Amino acid sequence: METLDGDELCFPQINTSCKKPLQHYAENIFIYILLSCISLLTVTLNLLVIISISHFRQLHTPTNIFLLSLAVSDFLVGLFLMTIEILQTGGCWFFGTFMCRFYGYASFIITSASVGNMVLISADRYVAICDPLRYPNKVTQRKVKICVCLCWACSVLYNGMILKEFLKNPDMYNFCYGECVILFEFITQAFDLFFTFLSPITVIIVLYMRVFVVAVSQARAMRSHIAAVSEQGSVSVSARKSERKAATAIGVVVIEFVISFCPYYLPAFAGQELLFSREFLTFSVWLFYFNSCLNPIIYAFFYPWFRKCIKQIVTLQILQLDSCDNIIL
């Protein structure tokens, strides 16, 4: 077997080691700094969301429990998945077989859980906007917590099933030493594409189209009757506006999620040529991961309560006695 130049190998002492791609030192430093900043920002912002919703009792609403679950998945993306991706930016896998198995399984679980959270959030907003009178009875905290637990449990079981062969032998698709490659048979890939991407995205789009139509009709009705609204009615109008604002914010999150998620599954449509393009694969993975950084930024833009929470967390007001009962909304 021909031995590659030792300086170009991931593991110079091993002849079967993978060859490092051509790299430029200045570009690598810039990429490392940029990706590290994105990872740090993702972890920090989502940790603020987690602390805010967990700490302040006023935020313990069904919708916010869904947002908390989404923030947890986004936090894990920044803390674990982004960190591993940064460490293997040079094109080599240095963490061994066990970590390859664990990283592959964890990344699929977190990805599937994020999709599930988006579907649950869309369903929650659909009920809140389209059936507001029965919403408090239909969507309770107990039901929401059960749905979130089922979402994560199904993600663990489903990905354990489709990754069964990979988990048994993580090196089965590696062409050389220093790789961590996951490939699927065509049937498995088609099933995963339908179950993890096409079906959830279709449900999300249909629900939000319905929410948008109802929200527009409600806005027109309120404008036509605004002059006749009583003081009691004003409270109802304010509540409806709050619901529509929440739907708008989460709608933006969902749209941005769909845009960032599509390239991640494009190789499944385009075939093997793009599947083995390292540049495209890296771009699609980081575009999807960057979604986890944008979500809390959207919260800060749409939700005044999130900005209030950040202020109280940064100034350490949450350490005061009974701070969990502070007025946030």
Specify whether the CB–CB gap between 314 and 268 falls below 8 A.
no
Enumerate the β-bridge partners of residue 19. Answer: 9
> What is the pTM assigned to this prediction?
0.83
| Domain-located, residue 4 | no
Specify whether the CB–CB gap between 84 and 43 falls below 8 A.
no
Q: What is the pLDDT of residue 77?
A: 93
CATH code assigned at 249? 1.20.1070.10
Residue 262, number of CB atoms within 10 A of its CB: 15
| Domain-located, residue 6 | no
- At 19, is the secondary structure helix, strand, or coil? strand
Specify whether the CB–CB gap between 259 and 213 falls below 8 A.
no
270 Cβ neighbours under 8 A, 6+ residues apart: none
Q: What is the pLDDT of residue 187?
A: 82
| Domain-located, residue 168 | yes
- Look at the chain and report how many structural domains it folds into: 1
| E runs forming strands in the chain | none
Q: What is the pLDDT of residue 2?
A: 42
Q: What is the pLDDT of residue 226?
A: 60
| Domain-located, residue 302 | yes
10 Cβ neighbours under 8 A, 6+ residues apart: 17, 18, 19, 20, 91, 92, 93, 94, 177, 178
| Domain-located, residue 33 | yes
* Residue-level pLDDT, tens digit, the chain, 329 residues: 344 444 578 888 887 788 877 666 677 788 889 999 999 999 999 999 999 999 999 999 998 999 999 999 999 999 999 999 888 877 788 888 899 999 999 999 998 998 899 899 889 988 988 888 889 999 999 999 999 999 999 999 999 999 998 899 888 888 888 888 888 777 887 788 888 888 888 888 888 878 777 777 766 666 666 655 554 444 455 555 555 665 666 667 667 767 777 777 666 555 554 445 667 777 888 888 888 888 888 776 777 888 889 899 999 889 888 888 888 87
| Domain-located, residue 64 | yes
